[in-house]
A and B are shown apart, each in its own frame.
Chain A
Amino acid sequence: AQSVTQLDSQVPVFEEAPVELRCNYSSSVSVYLFWYVQYPNQGLQLLLKYLSGSTLVKGINGFEAEFNKSQTSFHLRKPSVHISDTAEYFCAVSDYGQNFVFGPGTRLSVLP
């Protein structure tokens, strides 16, 4: 069975500072990895995903993530955050089947 751990439930950061949101997963098979974002009172939207190939994945809104197989991690980073990045971020994993497992989420608060 797959599982996803997001070690930080809340991350406060000042505007224009860099941020890293951590994600670790466990799975007995190769996986696909995702980051989704949920803005206040909205559904989720895809930020980026890793399926294969380059381990550094670039997504929308200046975010990127790096897949590290040996550490079973898929941390999300942005070099300079904006107030509008305030949201909840979910890491997720899917194996070669059809189900999909989300982590518990990290609430990013960008402070002026």
Chain B
Amino acid sequence: EAQVTQNPRYLITVTGKKLTVTCSQNMNHEYMSWYRQDPGLGLRQIYYSMNVEVTDKGDVPEGYKVSRKEKRNFPLILESPSPNQTSLYFCASSLSGPTDTQYFGPGTRLTVL
């Protein structure tokens, strides 16, 4: 089954404790992206990647890192999480760019205390 998976689905952590949210797709897609969803703000793009070893900042990259060492994986790293990063995070992938249909993962709900 074609899908985007994220782990963990739920995470509660404390300020400053490094964490990684994994994202994996099995559709051989070139484009992958991370978004955060906050009430009243919709989804905002954090980082995106056009292909392996090619990443770029979205609208809200501060406090986040990403890497794309393999085509299927696109982890989101929070080196020193803060409470304002409490949010619902979605990973998405598409064939070659954002104008292709983006397939979204189920979301990761992160709470930073």
Contacts and interface: CB of A to CB of B under 8 A. Distances in A.
Interface of A: 4, 6, 9, 32, 36, 42-46, 49, 51, 90, 94, 98-105
A102 B43 contact: yes
Contact of B97 (A4, A6, A9, A98): A98
A27 B3 CA distance: 32
Interface residues of B, number: 26
Contacts of A100: 33, 45, 48, 58, 98, 102
B12 to A, nearest CB: 18
Contacts of A102: 35, 42-45
A45 B90 CA distance: 12
Given A44-B90, A99-B59, A49 B43 contact: no
Interface centre among A9, A32, A99 (most CB of B within 10 A): A99
Interface string B85-113: 00000101000011101101111000000
A101 B48 CA distance: 12
B58 A99 contact: yes
Given A43-B92, A45-B104, A100-B58, 19 more contacts: A42-B106, A43-B90, A44-B43, A44-B90, A44-B102, A46-B101, A90-B42, A98-B50, A98-B56, A99-B45, A99-B56, A100-B33, A100-B98, A101-B45, A101-B59, A102-B43, A103-B42, A104-B40, A104-B41
